Chains A and B, each alone.
Chain A
Amino acid sequence: TQLLEQSPQFLSIQEGENLTVYCNSSSVFSSLQWYRQEPGEGPVLLVTVVTGGEVKKLKRLTFQFGDARKDSSLHITAAQPGDTGLYLCAGGGSGNTGKLIFGQGTTLQVKP
């Protein structure tokens, strides 16, 4: 069974601080996505990483896929209150079923 372990589960920081969220597995994923979900809304796709070692940037957010495609990280530089939300990593399951394996999620609160 493929699992994604996401950490930390909760993070409360001050505006301007940096943070990193980790997503780890013992399984290889063909792709991995990061979503952000604001309270009362559905998750919004931020990025998809596909190639081992790949790094993608989205403004202050940097996403990395591990060389072995078993882990990923999300780094936020100079966090702002607008970054507050639930961050979810999700990987493509085995057998090309179209189903996603989700991490447990990281609730981020950025205080002004």
Chain B
Amino acid sequence: DAMVIQNPRYQVTQFGKPVTLSCSQTLNHNVMYWYQQKSSQAPKLLFHYYDKDFNNEADTPDNFQSRRPNTSFCFLDIRSPGLGDAAMYLCATSREASDLYEQYFGPGTRLTVT
């Protein structure tokens, strides 16, 4: 089945220690998104790639970076995690932007910062 996969599902890191979260997709969608979600809140968009074009949200901290080496993979790098970065991180994909805006989410990575 075509899907969005996130690894790992749970990640524990220490304050200030860099961490990388990964996302892969078999949907062959050209748009990929990274969201941060805190408990029972709506997901907050961090950035997205339209093919190789990177689009950063204005309020995304510089601490968060992303890479997309090819269509299938996208990575979220947190350079110096703080306690406030503990959250669920969601990857999503969509086909080329259209009026439908349908996004398909992965299961998420729960990040704990100690």
Contacts and interface: CB of A to CB of B under 8 A. Distances in A.
B103 A86 contact: no
B55 to A, nearest CB: 8
B81 interface: no
A90 B90 CA distance: 15
Interface stretch (A13-21, A39-47, A55-63, A76-84): A39-47
B99 A31 contact: yes
A102 B38 CA distance: 14
A43 B43 contact: yes
Contacts, number: 72
Nearest to A96: B97
Size bin of chain B's contact surface:
20 to 34
A29 to B, nearest CB: 9
Q: Give the bracket for the number of chain A residues in contact with chain B.
A: 20 to 34
B48 interface: yes
A45 B27 CA distance: 15
B97 A97 contact: yes
Interface in A81-112: 86, 88, 90-93, 96-100, 102-105, 107
Contacts of B103: 33, 45, 90, 100
Nearest to A32: B101
Contacts of B2: none
A48 interface: yes
A30 interface: yes
Contacts of B48: 98-99
Given A96-B99, A97-B97, A104-B42, A45 B104 contact: yes
B108 A105 contact: no
B99 to A, nearest CB: 5
Contacts of A28: none
A58 to B, nearest CB: 15
A30 B94 contact: no
Contacts of B108: 40-42
Top 3 A-B residue pairs of the complex, sorted by shortest distance between their CB atoms:
A98-B97, A42-B105, A92-B101
